[in-house]
A and B are shown apart, each in its own frame.
Chain A
Amino acid sequence: MKKKVKDILKEHVHQHEYTINPEEIFVGALAEIKKEKKDKRKYLLFFLLFFGVSVFMKLYFSDMDNGHSIHNQLSDTSIEQIDEVSDYAKNEDLLETTLETQVNTSTPPETENENETTTIETDEVNQSEEPTNNSRIQEFRTKTRTETSINEKLKETKVIDESNTTQPTYTKDFKTPVKQIIESPQRSENTFIAAQPHLPRAIHENQDENVEAETNERSTKINDEVKVPMNAWPGAEAMQSIDLLNLLTPNGFVIGERDVDVTDKMYHGLVEIKKIKPRSKFALSIIGSYGLFDKTTIAKDAAQVITQDLFEEKPLEILSSSFLLSYTLSNSISLSSGIKWQQINEEFAWNGNYNVNELGDIINEVPGAESLVGVPYSQEVEHTIVDYTKRQLVSVPVLIGYSKRFNAFSIGANAGPSLNVYSKSEGRTLNELNLPVTIESLSPTYGLGVEGNVELGYAIAKRTDLLLNLSFQHLESEDILSEINFNSLSLGLGFRKGL
């Protein structure tokens, strides 16, 4: 073609303006751009929302754990009863008044030596009275300690009964062991006489009848279960609705020969149970998953768009296994990290033409192609290739999670960022001439992602949960030619073992 003709055609083409409505193009393009932005915002919003809910629930339930969780498990009536008792406990003036009343009106107990006195001290009041029901109160309360404490305290009580010199006092400082208070020569400033209006009456009713027998059988009861009558105080019945560790029996509150330590925090119907062997804060989770994924490849250079459409990569499946070590930050919040291995399987399909020599080998440059027999030969053939591409991906997630346990079941959710490494690829790709070639490469490509999961757990053994896990993952990585957006949804099964 002569240059002049070529220039004429070029000039005409470049000057030509096709009749088109630009508004239609603008509206369509803008809608597509906004859709892409909306999708990105959606992922970000989901993550922020999840994080916010986790923080809110953490704050909310931490408040509940600070002394209110037991209330939540009680009926309204029970709460009223306990509150009633607690009100008494908080009113020191009333308590003191009650104490004086009881001290003055109570019937002197049957003691071996009536001439000896028991001293009851407070911060402001020093009283010296004959042994009254207070000694019985003390005796009763001493029984409600742990088995070890029971032995020691009963021994001391026995000494007190025998000597009738002083009587130990009670404390509202729940964290201070009674034994220390008893043995301490100087009492805490918080020490007061915790006489409770309903308690002595209950003890009277029971102990008046049994005190003699109890005294005689004390030595044999030390090693047995200690039963507190259910009508010992108004809030006792309410405790039946808790029955956290089956401590309550139809006959009363059983202490001793249990795997738990009922500490000195028992007070006016409120019981805090502390486990002797606290759980480790670390747990190991192993989960295997199967899921589906969607991948979007965006060419950095528009020229690469050509290459992208020369073949198809059809998503098939994603297999993954994760090994995560979690650390419990609080009762419900945990932080976990570890290794997640994933294999992404795709179908590679290519349909096109290429030139082959007489042996069927692909030759890229047709002109000058040399034949084995010395005669140039080439033939263009149409060919379809279907193969499978496997990509192995290793990621390191850092997840913050929230979980809640309901008896044997637990439910939780985790979310956080992850660092991803494409570690290995096997399959097909196109070379610089857009012909399919086999690849097997180890070419790490780093990228950041976000992942989250919801998991349901069921305790199958001590400190071992079976996990059903539904996880979502969004990865973004890039290489020289393109950006790869990757979304997956997987269902997994595994277990978690407390260490």
Chain B
Amino acid sequence: MKPGVLIIFCLLLAFSAPVLAAPERTIMGTPQPGGEFVVTLNVSGIAVGGIVENIPAGFVYVSTTHPPGRVSVADRQVSFALLGDDRVSYRLRAPAAGSGAITGFWEDFVTGENGTVAPTQITAAAAEPPETGISRPSTVMPGFSVPCSLFALTVVLFFRRRSE
């Protein structure tokens, strides 16, 4: 297949994917070894639904501001029942050292849509002095990483072919 055609095909494929009102995950602050940090999910587009968050090994679920009775914790999974909520926040404790990704699934039972919350990579690391106290959102825009990756891949293929 010619590179130009491949690029167009990839772009069409990437941008034809339906855009859902997927929740976005944000981590405020840098997880310190043994310290606690807050994970926030923006769920304003979901009227009645649920979210399941998978916590990476070594990290421990501590608490949430979500109403009691609408949270369920089992092993490294935390589920939230959503009834008209705008956001869900919960607190995790980082291990002395380690890293992993928070992954999640969401369901909107009113619209019938569901999907995954984009993974968020977290690393327990001592904060560098200049960055102390600065919030660093680590939101990954859902659905955008795939088109970007495809685009980057095709560009590389294109220039590689040309250099040959």
Do A and B come together as binding partners? no
Could you list which residues of chain A lie within 8 angstroms of chain B, going by C-beta atoms?
none
Could you list which residues of chain B lie within 8 angstroms of chain A, going by C-beta atoms?
none
